[in-house]
A and B are shown apart, each in its own frame.
Chain A
Amino acid sequence: MSTSTTCKATGLRCRECSHEYELAPIYTCEWCFGPLEVMYDYDAIKSSISRESIANGPDSIWRYAELLPSSRDAAVDLGAGFTPLVRADRLAAALGLGELWIKNDTLNPTNSFKDRVVAVALSRALEFGFKTVACASTGNLANSVAAHAAHAGLKSYVFVPSNLESGKIVTTAVYGGNVVAVEGNYDNVNKLCAELAGMYPWAFVNVNVRPYYAEGSKTLAYEVAEQLGWQTPDHVVVPMASGSLLTKIDKGFRELHKVGLLDDEPQVRVSGAQALGCSPIATAFLDGADAIKPVKPDTIAKSLAIGNPADGYFALDVVRSTGGGMAAVTDDEVVEAMLLLARTEGIFAETAGGVTIATLKRLAEQGVIKSNERVVAYVTGHGLKTLDAVVPVAKPTATIAPNIEAFHAAFNIEEN
């Protein structure tokens, strides 16, 4: 067990029944099967952390190491985090919004926010003494686990649905390690991994070390607050697959106040984005239901295609209690939104980013997101990962012979 002075994690607690456990590679409460969450000694963090100590840290998630369940000394570090927060005035104008920012998390080492969670998970896995890491993935996690495992010299087994975009297979297999294409959807892959996790002494980042892994997402809240000059947004829009990212962003803002880094208690409205073809959480929200019914995913937003979202209940609680909204957007809206973001702001997001921006647009039209709010939309994966989605709509403007006449025939240029 780590006794590093920088790690202030004290144990695990069940989110359902509050049973407590020691820090260990476990993820489920033995009593009620509820998910376990990391506890911290917040008083100790408060007395040792400051805006200055953070500013003096590295330009990565590890500047917030004291709020993570792994010590900075043991960090597996490819440079995840500290991605740009981009002011998006042109997109805001197109959507009738006021102050809008894009958290451009496409600019991570493997081009998605998963590098944040994987860096934390693998650091903790090393501290636990694991030699092999594994994951069930819709693609982005696969990329990140394979890359970080290579960097740390760990063996890896990455399980993905066999129908995944070919690009995401390539960008995983290139790092070596074992890539297992499973004939089934993500939920089938996940179930297989949950069973394998009980059989092999491996760190499955989203299974037995998930409590640690999930904490890495909090850095998306920390960074936004720091980048806004230690202020919080009024409203955030977050994509939802399992729902974990959304709940951890909410937790991150609250923790900053708890440890004295924010002057005022944050009042951040949190809204969640899903694709209509896989919208179990948004459907429950829009129906006013408490139960989440699993679905069989059918959407181009494969990185969000989790039909049985384990953290969906907690995401519902966060969105309802903060006065946020949710939307389930069509695949056509997703592609339109990918183009809108690219063409107004120069940011190329994967389909999941299209889901986020399409939801931002929908909620703005519905008046859920208001023009007087400071809004941050989280764009969590790069468009190069899901090229297939835009191949039909992003083509050459013209194809011409290599001479001036042909150019003039194709383009009637009036200005120069």
Chain B
Amino acid sequence: MSVTVRIPSQLRELSGGAAEVSLEAGTVQSILKALDAAHPGLGARLFDDAGALRRFVNVFVAEEDIRFLDGVDTVIEDGQVVSIVPAVAGG
């Protein structure tokens, strides 16, 4: 039972250079906490002091923004891909 978490280039210094990390399935919250446990320091980049996901951090599960799902409580199933993507503006 595992899911793949894609690490953005900005955070790879903390993931030992890894672009993808495999973790146990669970919720977005539990997986990101597990990511922090595996790679100390990563959590502080993603969560603010109050424990909420920072407002410029976007998390996608199977290509869908978790704000359209159940937020950090979104359940991630075996084999799904979680992407952490910085907000970008456009036009």
| Residues of A participating in the B interface, judged by any CB pair closer than 8 Å | 16, 26-28, 30-35, 114, 117, 135-138, 140-141, 186-188, 190-191, 193-195, 197-198, 206-207, 210, 214, 241-244, 291, 293-294, 296, 303, 306, 308-311, 313
Contact = CB atoms under 8 A, between A and B. Distances in A.
Contacts of B55: 291, 313
Given A28-B10, A198-B8, A294-B65, A190 B54 contact: no
Contacts of A27: 86, 88
A27 B9 CA distance: 11
Given A242-B89, A308-B87, 9 more contacts: A28-B56, A28-B87, A141-B90, A194-B8, A195-B8, A214-B89, A242-B90, A296-B68, A306-B90
Contact of A33 (B13, B68, B86, B90): B86
A309 B58 CA distance: 12
Given A190-B88, A214-B89, A308-B87, A34 B56 contact: yes
A191 B91 contact: no
A32 B90 contact: no
B58 A308 contact: yes
A288 to B, nearest CB: 17
B91 A309 contact: no
Contacts of A136: 88, 90
Of listed B9, B45, B86, residue having the most chain A CB within 10 A: B86
B56 A33 contact: yes
B65 A141 contact: no
A194 B88 contact: yes
Interface string B43-61: 0011010000011111010
Nearest to B9: A198
Interface string B69-91: 00000000000000101111111
Contacts of B68: 294, 296
A195 B90 CA distance: 15
Contact of B56 (A35, A140, A191, A291): A35
Given A141-B90, A194-B88, A206-B91, A310 B56 contact: yes
Interface of B: 6, 8-11, 13, 19, 45-46, 48, 54-58, 60, 63, 65, 67-68, 83, 85-91
A306 B89 CA distance: 9
Nearest to A204: B88
Contacts of A243: 89
A198 B60 CA distance: 16
A291 B56 CA distance: 12
Nearest to B48: A32
Contacts of B46: 33
A416 B9 CA distance: 70
Contacts of A242: 89-91
A244 to B, nearest CB: 5
A207 B63 contact: no
B91 A187 contact: no
Nearest to A247: B89
Contact of A195 (B10, B13, B56, B83): B83
Contact of A210 (B10, B54, B58, B89): B89
B91 A241 contact: yes
A194 B56 contact: no
A191 B58 contact: yes
A310 B89 contact: yes
A380 B56 CA distance: 27
B58 A140 contact: no
B90 A241 contact: yes
Contacts of B87: 28, 33, 35, 308, 310
Contacts of A193: 88
B80 to A, nearest CB: 16
**Smallest CB-CB A-B distances: 9 pairs:** A242-B89, A198-B9, A310-B89, A310-B87, A28-B86, A33-B56, A141-B91, A206-B90, A244-B89
Contact of A309 (B6, B60, B85, B89): B89
A214 B91 CA distance: 10
B9 A191 contact: no
Contacts of A28: 8, 10, 56, 86-87
A30 B89 contact: no
Contacts of A308: 58, 65, 87
